[in-house]
Amino acid sequence: MPERMRIPKPTARRLSLYLRELNDSIQAGRVRISSKLLGDALGLTDAQVRKDLACFGQFGQPGVGYRAADLCARIRHIMGRDHGWNMALVGVGNIGRAILAYHRFQDDGFQIVSAFDQSPQIVGQTISGQKVLPMEMLPQEVRTREIRIGVIATPAETAQEVADRLVDAGVEGILNFAPRRLNMPPQVSVGTVDLTVALEQLAFEISIVRGRGTTEVGAKTC
Amino acid sequence: MPERMRIPKPTARRLSLYLRELNDSIQAGRVRISSKLLGDALGLTDAQVRKDLACFGQFGQPGVGYRAADLCARIRHIMGRDHGWNMALVGVGNIGRAILAYHRFQDDGFQIVSAFDQSPQIVGQTISGQKVLPMEMLPQEVRTREIRIGVIATPAETAQEVADRLVDAGVEGILNFAPRRLNMPPQVSVGTVDLTVALEQLAFEISIVRGRGTTEVGAKTC
């Protein structure tokens, strides 16, 4: 296995945003797009856009810009988005149900092909077209359906155990909605969506902007 | 209004994680906690923990550690978490319904006190105990219910307009679930939860780890 590439997370995140903007531009009938246009749409300088894209090879021509379709295809390839990704969902509570119902995932090439729960009350139900399976079927499903990503939407208490079972079954990455940190082997990629942390960060920013707590916080020492 | 404090986002994010860990420790009956214990639980060095906490004043004693309850109260105060936050949800589709059903928000002091939708089919329904209101009532509700955070769970196309209306009504921060960037005045804090971007980042990491695309990507130039 090759060494993990060291692309800074902010760059990787911007690639996602470039891709979305390019898709919108192509759908709007645009054939070429400049680094300035891309940057303006995303609140970045054109120098930043050119620098990011230059990391991955020569795409554009000075004064002419990028061919939108070529650049889009190229970024899709770099990001592993030129093929679909099969996913398994574990935990079909409120968050799990919303994830199953969220059709945009599928439009974007990410498809939940199996859903699991440990509750006998939920197993066997069909939710958003997906029949909920018992946890015992996880290894077999991951293998036969070529599932590479596990989505964890369980309570915090069971998240680590579920993650271990997903990794044992062979998934390569986990998107974790449960509010706890997962200990995973280094070759397994983990993404986190933590709604409480997101809200807390927002509350913190608002508190700072409005001046609450500033006297004690002592910004200059950080 | 004082100048916005410049706390690096990673530090701010770690404060959320410290807070969660401290809450768990206190519930488990722990009275004192060391930077090493905190660090071990979160995958950080104890030096990093001490550095982060030192930003906000003198908390701990060398060799004795922090009093868990004091440290917890202090971080809660710093983060604006020593009082509740009233929130308005706009957009009661799949994501919006999951947010309404997600009780953990409320346990953590973030409460959705009003929900809005523009669809006449949805307005008037009661969902997870919340009666959905028409958009016209937004300004009045924000004022009378002291709503400070708006949660946007609309389609991408309407997110900017909704954000503008929330800001006009007086909210100070927005948590955006819609897949598009919002243009907001600088005094408004914006948090983003973008599920597709999260998945894309994960797919990208997996692709890199597994060696797909590495030959063309040219890591060393980044």
Fold entry, domain A9-78: Arc Repressor Mutant, subunit A (1.10.10)
Q: Do B6 and A222 touch (CB under 8 A)?
A: yes
Distance from C-alpha of B61 to C-alpha of A13, rounded to nearest angstrom = 40
**Bridge partners, B116 (sequence order):** B90, B133
On the question of pLDDT at B58 being above 70, the answer is: no
Of A1, A79, A201, the CB nearest to B16: A201
Q: CA of A137 to nearest chain B CA: how many angstroms apart?
A: 24
Q: Mean pLDDT in chain A?
A: 85
Q: Which of B42, B196, B216, B220 to mutate to test the interface with A (most CBs of A within 10 A)?
A: B196
Chain A interface includes B59 (CB < 8 A): no
User: pLDDT tens digits, residue range A154-172?
Assistant: 998 999 999 999 999 999 9
A221/B55 Cβ within 8 A: yes
Residue A81: predicted pLDDT:
82
Interface of A with B in 179-208 (CB under 8 A): 179-181, 183, 187, 189-208
A179/B56 touch (CB, cutoff 8 Å), yes or no: no
ipTM of predicted assembly, 2 dp: 0.77
Is the minimum CB–CB distance between B171 and chain A shorter than 8 Å?
Answer: no
Question: What is the predicted pLDDT for the residue at A4?
Answer: 44
Best residue in A76, A206, A214 for a mutation probing chain B (most B CBs within 10 Å) = A206
Q: What percent of chain B has pLDDT over 90?
A: 40
Give the pairing of strands A130-134 and A126-127.
Answer: antiparallel
What is the chain A residue with the closest CA to B10? A201
Res A147 pLDDT > 60: yes
**Do A206 and B148 lie within an 8 Å CB cutoff?**
yes
B211 residue type, one letter = G
Is A54 in contact with B221 (Cβ distance < 8 A)? yes
Please determine, for residue A222, whether its predicted confidence score (pLDDT) is greater than 60: no
Average pLDDT value for residue range A173-190: 91
In chain A, where the domains are located:
9-78, 85-197
User: How would residue A57 be classed by pLDDT, with cut points 50, 70 and 90?
Assistant: low
Q: Is A131 on the interface with B (CB under 8 A)?
A: no
- For B31-69, give the secondary structure using H, E and C: CEECHHHHHHHHCCCHHHHHHHHHCCCCCCECCCEEEHH
Confirm or reject CATH 3.40.50.1950 for domain B85-197, answering yes or no: no
Bigger pLDDT: A208 or B29? B29
Across the interface, whether the CB atoms of B77 and A149 are under 8 A apart is answered no
Contact B56 A216 (CB under 8 A): yes
Higher pLDDT among residues B83 and A138, named by residue: A138
Cα–Cα distance, B18 to B49 (Å, whole number):
9
Considering only A12-21, B55-64, B135-144, which range has the smallest mean pLDDT?
B55-64
Q: How many CB atoms lie within 10 A of CB B221?
A: 9
Number of helices and strands in chain B (H, E): 10, 9
Q: What pLDDT is attached to residue A148? A: 96
**Rounded-to-integer distance, Cα B200 and Cα B208, Å:** 12
- Measure the CA–CA gap between A192 and A180, rounded to whole angstroms: 9
CB-nearest partner of A197 from B11, B16, B42: B16
pLDDT at A177 over 50: yes
Which of B4, B175, B208, B217 has the most A C-beta neighbours within 10 Å, making it the best mutation to test the interface with A? B208
Q: Do B56 and A11 touch (CB under 8 A)?
A: no
Return d(Cα A61, Cα A66) in angstroms, integer: 7
**In which residue are the tokens 């296995």 written?**
A1
| Mean pLDDT calculated for residue range B177-186 | 89
Specify the DSSP class assigned to residue A212: T
Q: Is B119 on the interface with A (CB under 8 A)?
A: no
Chains A–B, number of C-beta pairs less than 8 Å apart = 248
pTM of the model as a whole: 0.76
Partners of B105 on chain A (C-beta within 8 Å) are 195-196, 199
Radius of gyration of chain B (CA): 21
One fold for B9-78 and B85-197: no
Enumerate the residues of chain A whose CB falls inside 8 A of the CB of residue B2: 211, 214
